[in-house]
Amino acid sequence: MSDILSTMIFLLINGLVIGFIITLVALGLTLIFGVMRIVNMAHGDLYMMGAVISYFVLSFGGNFFISLFTAPILVFAISYLIERFVVRPFEGNPTNTMLVTLGLSFIIQQVTLITYGGVPRVIPEPWTLSFQMFGAQYSGYRLAVAIISATILSGLWSFLHRTTYGTFIRATIQDAEVACATGINTNRIFTFTFALGGTLAALGGVLAAPITQVFYLMGNNVILIAFIIVIVGGLGSFKGTLIIALLLSILEGTLTIFLRPVEVRIISLMVMVLTLLLRPSGLFGRRYR
């Protein structure tokens, strides 16, 4: 009995930790959608890029903390360039933007395949610490992931709510035209937000690298669940994304006891379909037409 209980608790915490990582990815998507009304299909590949950069930093003799700073900075620069030169020409046409970022995702994946190789690699956990919790052995790194992500999330919250630039971003989310009329350079906000979203995904990637395998297609799996989360929570809603990401990850984590991963994914799909049928704008979303 206690065996089952400890397994349950282990999976619960595991779901929570993975939920935090996915929250980072999904929040990036939501942020970009809220400001620019587009969906970045290459988001999962920015996540993958974070993990791959982390691998390269480690193989060149760096450590985890160096990669935690270099990867986001590099991905910030890359997504800045992507917004400026690939996405910007399609402003005002969401579908074309999405397809173009989908094309970009192919390019990023194949370039990674050329430079990094197609073999999944495992990055060692930075600490060998582990905890004894309710009879289950739990790695200290995973708890650190939860703490680091929570710090990043609260940092993002205070950036959006306590700084001038954050206020500009929130103003653009409310109404881009009015924001532009009040003198906010919305173009710069667009580029910055896109890069910020990419950075969040890359941070997720760096944190996830020691937990999962680093693989050039690792983004596909994450972007799928991130899309589902964002739809259930409501595209553009931060609160919804955060809550649903944690809930859904815990649900998926617990269900893996009974079912195979694909079947768990199908259950998440069912949740998404139900939400779309009952509340098309998501559980916490405003109405976007």
Of 59-67, 70-78, 100-108, 242-250: span binding another protein (CB under 8 A): 100-108
Shortest Cβ 265–another protein spacing (Å): 6
Residue span 44-73 as binding mask against another protein, x where in contact by CB under 8 A, dash where not: ------------------------------
- Closer residue to another protein (CB): 162 or 287: 287
Check binding of 212 to another protein (CB under 8 A): no
Residue 100 engages another protein in binding (rule: CB under 8 A): yes
The conformational region for residue 135 under phi > 0 = left, psi -120 to 50 = alpha, else beta, is left
Say how far apart CA 253 and CA 257 lie, in whole Å: 8
Q: Which residues contact 14 (CB under 8 A, 6 or more apart)?
A: 142, 253
Size of the site for another protein (CB under 8 A): 43
Task: Pick the stretch among 34-42, 127-135, 150-158, 162-170 that binds another protein (CB under 8 A).
Answer: 34-42
To the nearest whole angstrom, how small is the minimum distance from the Cβ of residue 254 to another protein?
19
Site string for another protein, 228-247 (x = CB under 8 A): x--x---x------------
Least distance CB 89 / another protein (angstroms): 6
Q: Which residue from 98, 153, 176, 251 is in contact with another protein, where contact means CB under 8 A? A: 98
Nearer Cβ to another protein (135/261): 261
Our finding on whether 265 is near another protein (CB under 8 A) is yes
Contacts of 194 (CB under 8 A, 6+ apart): 32, 36, 40, 79, 80, 82, 83, 87
SS (H, E, C) 198-230: HHHHHHHHHHHCCCCCECCCHHHHHHHHHHHHH
Q: Are 26 and 230 in contact (CB under 8 A)?
A: yes
According to the binding rule CB under 8 A, does residue 76 interact with another protein?
Answer: no
Distance CA 47, CA 50 (A): 5
Does residue 91 bind another protein (CB under 8 A)? no
- Supply φ then ψ for residue 104, to 5 degrees: -60, -40
24 or 272, CB closer to another protein?
272
- Using DSSP's 3-state secondary structure scheme, residue 139 falls into strand
Residue with tokens 């989908």: 102
The answer to whether 212 and 145 are in contact (CB under 8 A) is: no
Query: Could you give the CA distance from residue 174 to residue 87 in angstroms, rounded to a whole number?
Result: 21
CB under 8 A: which stretch of 60-68, 129-137, 194-202, 272-280 binds another protein? 272-280
The answer to whether residues 169 and 35 touch, using CB atoms and an 8 Å cutoff, is yes
For position 120 contacting another protein by CB under 8 A, the verdict is no
Q: Is the CB of residue 234 less than 8 Å from the CB of residue 283? A: yes
89 touching another protein, by CB under 8 A: yes
Q: Which residues bind another protein (CB under 8 A)?
A: 33, 37-39, 41, 86, 89-90, 94-96, 98-100, 102-107, 109-111, 113-114, 220, 224, 227-228, 231, 235, 260, 262, 265-266, 269, 272-273, 276-277, 280, 288-289
